[in-house]
Amino acid sequence: MKDKRFILSEIRRTASLNGEKPLGQVAFRNETGIAEHEWRGVYWARWGDALSEAGFDPLEWNQPSDGDQILEALATLVRKYGRFPTSSEISIEKRQNSFVPTHQTILRRLGTKADAVRKVRIYCESHEDFTDVFTILYEKSPMTESLAENNTEQSKTATKSLTTSGYVYLVKSGTRYKIGCSENHWRRKGELHKQTSEGISEIHTIAAIDDPAGIEKYWHERFKDKRLHGEWFDLSAEDVSAFKKRKFM
């Protein structure tokens, strides 16, 4: 865990390299490797508070801004409200925190509400700090809600498209971990038991809404530096934790 003094020094250092303009949360994390959980709720409640203590004005959103910073701000609000915020809620949050973009900025940069929800969901899917928000947006998506309210043939077809098409699993044998995919992970588990004298234990399974092979490839690529052979990896506790955060993809 980084201490407060170090984080403040990094805010000032990166701002100096950026023409004395402090970075947004996403750019700061990418530049320094300091994750949100290392400061939020530990030293400050919001990024604007950290910037103020470092001697900078909170970032303003009235000018054209970095798209990822807008997505990050919206993801934070989704976490707070348990759903995508209304325009009135965004206005209230804006008055309390200049880090929050205006509703007009969101419309200008992201498009309609449906477009904004989709873009925030894509953003959260690729950022581990917001996997919980991805789940909220998936469960509360307009498509999911409309399916619950309507029983038309069109809705039935859409529901079918959202069902699980396969599984990406993480199992352990001895000290090694295997990442693979299967249409039926229970049957595959039995097959794996026969392939190793040490037996296996199931660690976690991700339900694949679409393209399980592509999702499997994503995890293989992510842990490529820890590959032993084939689909077997030497993973750390942090690697396993990152995999277990995903219930579906």
Task: Give the pLDDT score at 212.
Answer: 80
Task: With a cut of 90, say whether residue 233 has pLDDT above it.
Answer: yes
Q: DSSP 3-state assignment of 182? A: strand
- For residue 125, what are its two tokens? 């899917």
- The whole-number average pLDDT for the span 163-191 is 74
β 227-229/201-208 pair status: unpaired
Give, as one character, the DSSP assignment of residue 137: H
Mind listing the pLDDT tens digit for each residue in 108-167? 888 888 888 888 888 887 777 787 888 888 665 544 444 344 444 444 443 344 456 778
HSE-CB at 94 with a 13 A cutoff on CA atoms is 18
Task: With a cut of 80, say whether residue 103 has pLDDT above it.
Answer: yes
Task: With a cut of 90, say whether residue 63 has pLDDT above it.
Answer: no
Mind listing the pLDDT tens digit for each residue in 220-229? 988 999 999 8
Task: With a cut of 90, say whether residue 12 has pLDDT above it.
Answer: yes
What whole-number distance in Å separates Cα of residue 177 and Cα of residue 234? Answer: 6
Task: Give the pLDDT score at 168.
Answer: 86
Q: What is the mean pLDDT of the chain?
A: 77
Quote the percentage of the chain above a pLDDT of 90.
Answer: 11
CA distances from residue 36 to 1, 41, 177, 246 in whole angstroms, order as listed: 11, 9, 28, 18
Q: Is the pTM of this model over 0.85?
A: no
